[in-house]
Amino acid sequence: MRNSIQCSLRRKRYSYHAISSRCLHSSSMLRDHSARLAMLETGVDIEPGLYTYPPNSPIVNARHFYQNTVLMDHWIKKEPRPVSLRQLAFFGRKLNEQKLISSANFCRVELPVRIAHRIREMQVMPFSVVSNQHLCEVYEAYYRAFDLFRKFPAIKTLEDNDRFCDLLDILLNEHLSIIPKLVIGVIECSEAGFYDSDKLDEFVAKSLKSRISRRVIAEQHLSLTRAFRQGYRTADDPNYVGEVFLQCSARETVEEGAMAARQAIQKRYPDDKMPQVIIEGANVDIKFPYIKSHLDYIVGEIMRNSFEATIEQHRANGSPSDGPPPIVVSVSNTNQNILFRVSDQGGGVPTDLLPHIWSFAKGPRSHRRMRSFQQVPKFKGIAQEASGTTNTVAPSSLGALAARDSGIKLGMGLPLSRIYAEYWDGTLELQSLEGYGCDVFLRLSRLGNQHERLELDRV
């Protein structure tokens, strides 16, 4: 089944290119024209081909890009339907064939609506921005996924669902490289002065939140399908419902994040003693429902930053024999929230970097970040993460990010972690005392509370 879908996708690519060859008179003319438009918009002299449409793109060309509004208008009128973590968990209980088919059709209808809103946002951006090579590739990936979803017929049988799941699997894998392409593209556009950096940051934040929403919906359905195939139809697994882990432990999450950070930093400094992690608080063993891969990434990035800063500050101070100071993690909870505070003595954030720590598009180290992204070109094949009740594994861009070498500085750990926290109605804040250290505050909503009625998905 997967092979037939892949062959269909290849035929679609071929037909797109055949159409493209008839539509485009000359690739060199298109590149020159694109560069001239970019120069007129920005006043920046652009060498043809650097920030221009791909010359043979069947999707991103002037005719297609600006003249497909009739199709898009129909989908833009539809609003995405909010989805809460509680809804995902409860829908997956007592799974049966009808519920699985309903889940499939929800994905089939909902995903193209969400993608359409992202496509439209890109269509109204300046030509000079969207003609960036990396953002072009994002647009192409979005439009092709949108086109495949909107044409997929209604799902009526388990066999229909199997075909749909094959399509979901293929597209999820193809889209693993979206994050680096988005970030590299906006850095390049910001550096070239094509667009306001704050607007580029807003664009990336919206795109990433929408991406999270789509992957949550798709991966939840894939997990439910795998569970159904393996016989989990009426009996609930005690820990997982699809991708939702019902027993996330505050202590275990911190310990796992600290272990991963310790291993990553130890590879870089094999002869150094690593800082001790002290976990304190009256409710450190509290458990709560969450999507575990999201939680692990957020906490893992915080711990990674604290470990690295503490070791580097310790080395700068001459590596006293008593070892580096500890990292203290305080855990608390209320009726509405789970709260973490991570305190280190890693020297704090330099003054010139502090205004940019939440930005994707700007900052004094953007060139180094682009070089680092080239070392993680596909964000795939580096790590995998557990996937729901079936204990199988699925490729993950989050896993690749978390497993990267400690020397690779992407400059997006904190801003991406904040987006994941905010997506489920949480917050992530940082207080820096330069020369001493940082306090990072993570607040997570208690999404499993039976009285929770938040419409958390704002995308």
Residues 206 and 268 in one domain: no
Note whether 41 and 127 are within 8 A (CB): yes
Q: Report the range of poorest mean pLDDT among 243-247, 325-329, 378-382, 405-409.
A: 378-382
Looking at residue 391, its pLDDT comes to 38
In terms of Cα–Cα distance, which of 314, 333, 316 is closest to 324? 314
More confident residue, 44 or 156: 156
Higher pLDDT, 167 or 381: 167
3-class secondary structure per residue, 203-222: HHHHHHHHHHHHHHHHHHHH
What local confidence, expressed as pLDDT, does residue 152 receive? 97
Say whether both 141 and 173 belong to one domain.
yes
pLDDT (average), residues 7-15: 49
Last residue of a domain, one of 175, 204, 229: 229
Asked whether residue 74 falls in the same domain as residue 193, the answer is yes
- Considering the domain architecture, whether residues 45 and 118 belong to the same structural domain is answered as yes
Q: What is the pLDDT of residue 363?
A: 67
**Of 229, 259, 285, which marks where a domain is finished?**
229
Answer yes or no: do 111 and 223 share one domain: yes
End residue of a domain, out of 195, 229, 263: 229
Whether 308 has a pLDDT exceeding 60, the answer reads yes
- b/e map 258-284, b = 16+ CB within 10 Å: bebbbebbbeebeebebbebebebeeb
What is the per-residue pLDDT across 151-175, written as a single tens digit (0 to 9) for each? 999 999 999 999 999 999 999 998 9
Per-residue pLDDT at 412: 83
Same domain, 134 and 15: yes
Residue 392 forms part of a structural domain? no
Mean pLDDT of the chain: 78
CATH number at residue 261: 3.30.565.10
Stretch 225-231: mean pLDDT? 87
pLDDT score, position 243: 81
> Regarding predicted confidence, which is higher, 207 or 88?
207
Contact (Cβ atoms closer than 8 angstroms) between residue 146 and residue 119: yes
Question: Is residue 398 included in any domain, yes or no?
Answer: no
Would you say how long the chain is, in residues?
Answer: 459
> What pLDDT does residue 384 have?
31
In a domain, 371, yes or no: no
Within-domain flag for 437: yes
Average of per-residue pLDDT across 105-124: 93
Shared-domain flag, residues 295 and 190: no
Distance separating alpha carbons of residues 373 and 370, to the nearest angstrom? 5
Residue 316, pLDDT above cutoff 60: yes
- Assigned domain for 386 exists: no
pLDDT over 80 (residue 445): yes
- Is 59 in the same domain as 117? yes
Total domains in the fold of the chain: 2
The least confident of 62-66, 161-165, 275-279, 354-358 is 62-66
> Does pLDDT of 449 surpass 60?
no
Instruction: Report, as an integer, the average pLDDT of 222-245.
Output: 76
CA distances from 387 to 72, 134, 149, 161, 226 (A): 33, 29, 23, 19, 10
Is 65 in the same domain as 214? Answer: yes
Query: Are 194 and 133 found together in one domain?
Result: yes
Query: How large a percentage of the chain has pLDDT more than 90?
Result: 46
Look at residue 70 in the predicted model and tell me its pLDDT: 56
Instruction: Write the CATH number for 210.
Output: 1.20.140.20
Q: What mean pLDDT do residues 366-383 have?
A: 52
Q: What is the mean pLDDT of residues 126-151?
A: 91
Domain of residue 253: give its range.
244-365+411-445
